[in-house]
C-alpha cells in the first residue's frame, strides 16, 4: 500500500490527524515507573495502549533513543512492536549525508526499524535524499520550513525573489516520482504554511510545533490539510506525554490527545 | 586545551594533515577477518595501529555504525579507545534538530563517545547548532559547501548576489564566540574552497572528498590550509581502508596514508 493510502485510511478510521511524538525523557516520566526494569519502554507501551484508537501516527525522535546507547536501539524496536500495523510510524532523525552513508541511514530506518516514514534534511541536495525514496511504501518527509526560531537564518532567505523554502519545495516535487515524498512544515509561521500548501496541494504534511512550541492550531488545520481535510499529520509530544506525572499519566495523555483531536476536528468541520 | 591547539599540535608532531575516515563496511574488509568475533572493531584496531603515527585525525561516519544496531554503539567505543589521546577524533553524524533534541545528539557525541569534534547541518539555523558549541574544547564542523553533486541544489543558490554557502559561513563566524567552530568544505569545487578560505582565514577546515570522490588534492592543500599551511584536515576513507583486501591490508593502508601525507606535504612546501 502506498504511504498516502495508509495515512488516509487510518485518519478516516480513527477520525484523527493527531500524531504523538514519543520523545520520551527519563527525567520527565512519572517517578513510580523508575522502579521498572525498562521505564522508557514501559512508559511508551502505556501511552500507546491508552491512545492507539485516537491517533493516526506515532513519531519517534531518534535523538531521544540514540543518547541511551545500545539500549536505545532495543527500546525503539520494543516501542514499534507495540504500535498496531495500520498506524503510521515516523522515524524522526532528520538525517542527510552523501549517497553511501545516506543509504545506511535509510536501511536503518526503513529495513531494520521498519518505520513507515523518515524525516530528512535537504541541505546536501538530491543525492543525500534519494536513498530515502527508493521504497514506494515508505515516505521521506523533507524539512522544508521548520518550526524553530533558527528557521529564519537560512530557510527564509530570498533566492531570486523567492524564499529558500520554496526552492526546496520545488525540488521535493521533482523528487516525488514514486509518490513517497512529504513535507515538514512548522506551525509557528502560518503564512508560510499557507503558501506551502498552496504550492503543494496533494503531498502529506508533517506539522510539528503544536503544544510546547506554541504553534497555531487553527491555521495548522486550515492550511496544513489537503482539500479533503486530510493528509496533515499534527504532532504534539510533551503536552500529551507529560499531561500528568502521577499514576494516572496514561489516562491524562488520552484526555490530552482527545482534546487535541477534537479541537482539530472542530476546525476541520469549519474549513472542509 | 582548545580544539584548534590540539589539532595544530598533532599536525606538527606527525607532520600530517591526513585524516582517515573509518567508514568501515563489513562487505569490503578482508575476508580472513570475518572469522573474528568482532570483525569491524578488529579491522579498525589494525588500521589505527598501522597509521597512528602518520595522521592528525580519525573520522567515524556514524551512519556506518548506527546501521549495525546495538553492536554499533560498542564498536564506536572500542574504536575510540584505540586512538591515542593526542589525535583528533571526529564524530561525523551531520546532525541537526531543534534545541532539546540537538542537545541529546551533542551529549551522545561529546559526552558519551567523547569525540573532539562533530559535524552538523546548518539548515535549521542557530538553535539547532548551538547545543554543539557549548564545550570550548570540542568543535562543531558546520556543513558549508559539501563535496557531493547535490551540493549545487541549494548550497550554490544565490542570495542577494552571494551563494548560500557564503551566508552560512557568515553565520558560522557569528556562532564562533567560543572559538570552536569549523567548516566542512568539499574538495570537488576548488574555486568554492578558495573563496571560503579567503573569507575565513583562521577556522579549521574539514575537507572530505579526496580519494574515492576524486577531489583535487593540490587545491585542497593550497586553499584548504590556513596561512601556516595547517588547520586543514584532509580526509580519505575507501582509498586507504581498502588499499588491499588481503592479509597485508594494514600495511597497504599505511602505505596509502603515507603516500597521501607525502603528496600533501609536497604541496604544503610548494605553497607555504
- The angle at the Cα of A211, spanning B105 to A226, to the nearest 5 degrees, equals 100
Band the pLDDT of A213: cuts 50, 70, 90: low
CB–CB of B159 and A159 under 8 A? yes
Least-confidence region, from A208-217, B186-195, B246-255: A208-217
CB–CB of B151 and A69 under 8 A? no
Whether residue B21 has pLDDT greater than 70: yes
Residue A53: strand pairing partners: none
pLDDT recorded at residue A188: 87
Instruction: With a threshold of 0.90, tell me whether the complex ipTM lies above it.
Output: yes
CB–CB of A121 and B96 under 8 A? yes
Band the pLDDT of A216: cuts 50, 70, 90: confident
**H/E stretch holding B65:** helix B63-66
Whether residue B13 has pLDDT greater than 70: yes
CB–CB of B125 and A148 under 8 A? yes
Q: Using a CB-CB distance cutoff of 8 angstroms, which residues of chain A are in contact with residue B213? A: 98
Residue B63: strand pairing partners: none
CB–CB of A151 and B63 under 8 A? no
Q: Using a CB-CB distance cutoff of 8 angstroms, which residues of chain B are in contact with residue A129? A: 150
A107, three cell numbers = 536501511
pLDDT recorded at residue B97: 95
Count CB pairs under 8 A between chains A and B: 170
Q: Give the Cα separation of B172 and B121 in Å (integer).
A: 11
Cβ neighbours of residue B194 closer than 8 Å, sequence gap 6 or more: B219, B222, B223
The most distant pair of C-alpha atoms in chain A lies apart, rounded to whole Å, by: 58
Q: What percent of chain A has pLDDT over 90?
A: 93
Of B207, B209, B201, the residue nearest B227 (C-alpha): B201
Q: Give the Cα separation of B137 and A39 in Å (integer).
A: 34
CB atoms within 10 A of CB A31: 10
Of B97, B150, B159, the CB nearest to A128: B150
DSSP 3-state assignment of A97?
Answer: coil
Of B73, B94, B126, the CB nearest to A70: B73
- The angle at the Cα of B114, spanning B129 to B141, to the nearest 5 degrees, equals 35
CB–CB of A154 and B122 under 8 A? yes
Cβ neighbours of residue A170 closer than 8 Å, sequence gap 6 or more: none
Q: What is the mean pLDDT of chain A?
A: 96
Per annotation, catalytic residue among B52, B94, B167, B171: B94
Q: What is the DSSP letter of A133?
A: G
Which positions of A are annotated as active-site residues?
Answer: 94
pLDDT recorded at residue B188: 87
Whether residue A214 has pLDDT greater than 80: no
B179: annotated active-site residue: no
CA atoms within 13 A on the CB side of A228: 12
Whether residue B215 has pLDDT greater than 70: no
Own/partner long-range contacts of B6-12 (Cβ < 8 Å, ≥24 apart)? B6/B86, B6/B88, B6/B116, B6/B137, B7/B56, B7/B57, B7/B88, B7/B204, B7/B230, B7/B231, B7/B233, B8/B230, B8/B231, B9/B86, B10/B56, B10/B57, B10/B86, B10/B87, B10/B88, B11/B56, B11/B230, B11/B231, B12/B230
Q: Quick one: closest CA in A to B238, which residue?
A: A100
pTM score of the predicted model? 0.97
* Contact between A149 and A176 (Cβ < 8 Å): no
Q: Quick one: closest CA in B to A60, which residue?
A: B101
Whether residue A212 has pLDDT greater than 90: no
B132, three cell numbers = 554543539
Q: What percent of chain B has pLDDT over 70?
A: 99
Q: Using a CB-CB distance cutoff of 8 angstroms, which residues of chain B are in contact with residue A64? A: 101, 104
pLDDT recorded at residue B57: 98
Higher pLDDT, B255 or A147: B255
CB–CB of A150 and B125 under 8 A? yes
The pLDDT tens digits for B68-102 are 998 999 999 999 999 999 999 999 999 999 989 99
Q: Using a CB-CB distance cutoff of 8 angstroms, which residues of chain A are in contact with residue B100? A: 23
The pLDDT tens digits for B153-195 are 999 999 989 999 999 999 999 999 999 999 999 988 899 999 9
Mutant choice from A59, A60, A74, A124 vs B, greatest count of B C-beta within 10 A: A124
Amino acid at each position: 500500500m502506498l504511504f498516502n493510502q495508509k495515512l488516509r485510511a487510518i485518519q478516516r478510521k480513527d477520525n484523527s490527524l493527531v500524531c504523538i511524538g514519543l520523545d520520551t525523557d527519563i527525567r520527565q516520566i512519572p517517578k513510580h515507573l523508575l522502579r521498572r526494569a525498562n521505564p522508557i519502554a514501559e512508559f511508551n507501551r502505556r501511552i500507546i495502549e491508552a491512545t492507539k484508537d485516537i491517533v493516526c501516527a506515532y513519531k519517534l525522535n531518534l535523538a531521544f533513543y540514540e543518547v541511551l546507547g545500545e539500549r536505545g536501539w532495543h527500546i525503539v524496536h520494543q516501542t514499534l512492536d507495540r504500535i498496531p500495523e495500520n498506524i503510521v510510524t515516523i522515524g524522526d532523525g532528520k538525517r542527510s549525508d552523501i549517497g553511501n552513508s545516506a543509504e545506511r541511514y535509510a536501511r536503518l530506518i526503513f529495513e531494520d526499524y521498519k518505520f513507515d516514514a523518515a524525516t530528512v534534511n535537504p541541505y546536501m541536495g538530491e543525492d543525500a535524499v534519494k536513498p530515502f525514496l527508493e521504497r514506494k511504501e515508505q515516505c521521506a518527509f523533507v524539512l522544508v520550513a521548520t518550526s524553530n526560531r533558527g528557521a529564519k537564518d537560512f530557510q527564509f532567505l530570498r533566492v531570486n525573489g523567492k524564499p529558500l523554502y520554496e526552492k526546496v519545495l520545488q525540488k521535493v516535487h521533482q523528487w516525488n516520482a514514486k509518490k513517497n515524498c512529504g513535507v515538514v512544515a512548522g506551525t509557528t509561521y502560518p503564512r508560510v504554511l499557507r503558501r506551502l500548501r498552496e504550492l503543494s496541494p496533494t503531498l502529506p504534511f508533517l506539522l510539528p510545533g503544536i503544544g510546547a512550541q506554541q504553534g497555531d492550531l487553527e491555521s495548522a488545520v486550515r492550511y496544513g490539510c489537503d482539500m479533503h481535510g486530510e493528509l496533515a499529520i499534527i504532532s504534539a509530544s510533551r503536552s500529551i506525554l507529560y499531561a500528568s506525572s502521577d499514576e494516572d499519566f496514561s489516562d491524562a495523555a488520552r484526555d490530552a490527545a482527545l482534546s487535541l483531536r477534537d479541537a482539530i476536528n472542530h476546525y476541520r468541520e469549519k474549513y472542509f
